[in-house]
Chains A and B, each alone.
Chain A
Amino acid sequence: MGNCCSDYAGARTAIGGTAGSLLNQTNDAVDNFFKSRGYQGLFSQIELSFSASGLRDRDVLSKSDPIMVLYAKGKNGALEEIGRTEVVLNSLNPTWITKQTLTYHFEVVQVLVFRVYDVDTQFHNADVKILKLEEQQFLGEATCALSEIITKSDGSLTLDLLRQDSIRSGDSQKCGKLKVHAEECVGSKTTVELILRCSDLEYRDLFSKSESPLIIECYNFNTNGKHDLLGKVQTSLVELEKLYSGGQGENLFLSASVGHDSQTKVLKSRLFVDKFSENIQYTFLDYLAGGFELNFMVAIDFTVRLCPVCLREHLWIPQNVIPEDAIQFYALTSSCLPASNGNSRLPDSLHYIDPSGRPNAYQRAIVEVGEVLQFYDSDKRFPTWGFGARPIDGPVSHCFNLNGSSNYCEVEGIQGIMMAYASALLNVSLAGPTLFGPVINNAALIASQSVANGGRKYFVLLIITDGVVTDLQETKDALVKASDLPLSILIVGVGGADFKEMEILDADKGDRLESSSGRVASRDIVQFVPFRDVQSRWGNFSSASTSSRITYSIFSLHAEQKYPAKSLVM
């Protein structure tokens, strides 16, 4: 019988200690809870500090007096000022004291723009906040993504300051260098570990409701989910620390309603703090600083789907028509439901390469995920596969190298993926069925080889598919086997198919995947995102939930001490 509970498994599972448990024992429910949730509430705050060298000397009688202004660049190209440094007087190689703090978002490319100005002498005593930048001498500008800074081993990035030459249009002149150093704020990775103990608990059958805000409650666990409140304490972390320091306990109390009044009954039961430990957690950024990389992988669906009316393949399907509507639509016109992807040369194919350059669904998914992940891989060589196609004069392949090579699967950069994809469309025939197992096994093999070689890489496989997976059990088996490896899988569904089976693979509802041999996945490594949901909201695939899944997957892998962070962070 547990003495604590949570919403884990629908509040039917105790996650605290059990009667008679030793302090050094762990409860697997607790472990699973933390593996799946991570240390929620931790938001990475990045502190940026700045220095420059080789600035232009704009003053006649003295050196320049530089100020640095930091902007965030939005998707529409608009600049939003984040902050300014102080003015450093009479220096061409300033080190600014003022630091800027940003919130790090893994899921988006955070473009930063740095502009350096020489402040005119008459404004030296003015408040920098009200300083009009257009009245100052512009020295130079630099641009980068925040992820480019934090992935550097020393957390520093040196950028060229560029200035548009007014005489020769289109040319940029180098006007010095700007060094940006990033450091994660200590406060954003601090957690407190508590071990609580109670004495003289009273067993009560009747549940008492409380009207006051609750911070710590003690319950008698019942398997039916209706737990009995034994007592509670309203407190704060500071008070808990005092209890721990003093070795004292605090009495639990219950609130009871008597008529129209509420009475507080102080119980004999007490709460003790046996441990109060404030810890600095290793964060995602710590792993990056230790040389850890994310390696992007892509697998693209090249299948067609059989028409449910005549059970044959057809060439095309309107992209905005869902299967149920299509059956009715084509029944009225005495036509059959076409295949899903269809001939890539036809405008309504999901694989259509628009001559105007407008990306199709597959291309868009690749770009939106890849442009974020590419910053976390130093060599930017990405394994890229296709599945469900028939190469020229060959059988159907459920995992073929998109670059057309038989020896290696990597391509250079996101542009390389796009080129390989477009080329593959011209050299293979769409076929079927849709199988995920082979590509997952290949990705897992690469990840396992990296582990065996002592690599510091975590792999993210993007599978873009238009249909329902055929080898569901084999896919589950592959996923369970891969759950011990440094691999996460993002499945993006394009088109109008029914993707319910994909949600089985995405174990968001708490049921861990099981293989056909009964093996249970060590952790959840799959995230499924339907493309149409993203389109309707004009959002990104790299949503917060997706990024949190990836980063927590890294934590859950390392939490088992298979890849201890201490060996990575030097």
Chain B
Amino acid sequence: MSRTIEITILSAENLQENKKAIKGNTFVTVQCDGSNNELSTTKLDSGGGSYPTWNEKLVIDVPLHARFITIEVKYKTRGSSSSVGMARIPISDFIGGYVNENQLQFLSYRLWDNRVRRNGVVNISTKVKLSQQNSCSNSILSTVNGVPVTGIPVAGNGSTRVVTGIPAIWLNYQRNI
């Protein structure tokens, strides 16, 4: 039970490492929670510096129960790679919003580094591949009285409440796994 989402990793802005501009060799990984840790990776941008451009489309199967897609920008050094910043994107941001999910949407997200400090912005576009099954399930996502709500629905007893925001300490917790 899943839907297919096309995520195009467009570019990033103002990437830094130790308060200095990243010189290059950056790439992006995309992972969806509940997808058995399946990782999608872009090519390397070697010349873009702190403003890299990838323009690479990744096709991801997202389980219906999934809540987040994690986008991480990394840079490659000799024989290893390090994290520049991470964005954890609620799936509700591009499903159930004002725009039909099968329509191309351009989104930008703040990146947070390992110390939970702001570190640039990543720009993406998303498009959901619709199927008959997806059409039925979309209607229950993230609306309160017909108005789209930013956040994650809270399960149980027909509640219309949603959780907004992401706990900051969760990022470090996820990092340590």
Binding site for B on A (CB under 8 A): 1-2, 9, 13-14, 18-22, 25-29, 32, 223, 438, 441-442, 444-445, 447-448, 451-452, 473-474, 477-478, 480-482, 484-485, 514-522, 560, 562
Contacts and interface: CB of A to CB of B under 8 A. Distances in A.
Interface string B77-101: 0000000000111100100011110
Given A484-B99, A517-B89, A28 B150 contact: no
Contacts of B19: 223
A28 B13 contact: yes
Contact of A1 (B11, B21, B53, B112): B21
A515 B14 CA distance: 19
Contacts of A451: 98-99
Interface residues of B, number: 42
B47 to A, nearest CB: 3
B151 A517 contact: yes
A485 to B, nearest CB: 6
A516 B20 CA distance: 27
Contact of A29 (B51, B87, B89, B150): B51
A564 B132 CA distance: 31
A28 B24 CA distance: 15
A518 B164 contact: no
Contacts of B12: 28
Contact of A484 (B90, B106, B164): B106
Contact of A28 (B97, B123, B146): B123
A520 B98 contact: no
B121 A520 contact: yes
A518 B110 contact: yes
Nearest to A482: B98
A522 B98 CA distance: 14
A478 B147 CA distance: 11
A25 B88 contact: no
Contact of B98 (A14, A18, A448): A448
B150 A445 contact: no
Interface string B7-35: 00001111000011101100000000000
Contact of B109 (A14, A477, A520): A520
A1 B46 contact: no
B108 to A, nearest CB: 4
B53 to A, nearest CB: 5
A387 to B, nearest CB: 14
Contacts of B49: 1-2, 18-19
10 contacts: A2-B51, A21-B47, A25-B48, A28-B121, A445-B147, A452-B100, A477-B150, A518-B87, A519-B93, A560-B106
Contacts of A517: 88-90, 93, 109, 150-151, 164-166
A518 B121 CA distance: 10
A28 B110 contact: no
Nearest to B98: A448
Contacts of A522: 106, 108
Count chain B CB atoms within 10 A of each CB in A14, A26, A515 and give the residue with the most. Answer: A515
A13 B99 contact: no
Those 3 A-B pairs whose CB atoms lie nearest each other, nearest first = A20-B47, A448-B98, A516-B165
Given A21-B48, A518-B112, A448 B123 contact: no
B106 A516 contact: no
Contact of A515 (B47, B88, B123, B150): B150
Which of B19, B49, B107 is most buried by chain A, counting CB atoms within 10 A of its CB? B49
Interface string B140-157: 000000111011000000
A473 B47 contact: no
A15 to B, nearest CB: 9
Contact of A223 (B20, B106, B146, B150): B20
Nearest to B23: A1
A390 to B, nearest CB: 19
Given A13-B14, A517-B151, 19 more contacts: A1-B23, A2-B51, A14-B51, A18-B47, A22-B47, A26-B11, A223-B21, A445-B146, A445-B148, A448-B99, A451-B98, A481-B98, A484-B98, A484-B106, A517-B166, A519-B107, A519-B110, A520-B121, A562-B106
A438 B123 CA distance: 28
Pick from B50, B87, B146 the residue with the most CB of A within 10 Å.
Answer: B50
A520 B108 contact: yes
B42 interface: no
B147 A441 contact: yes
A21 B11 CA distance: 13
B46 A20 contact: yes
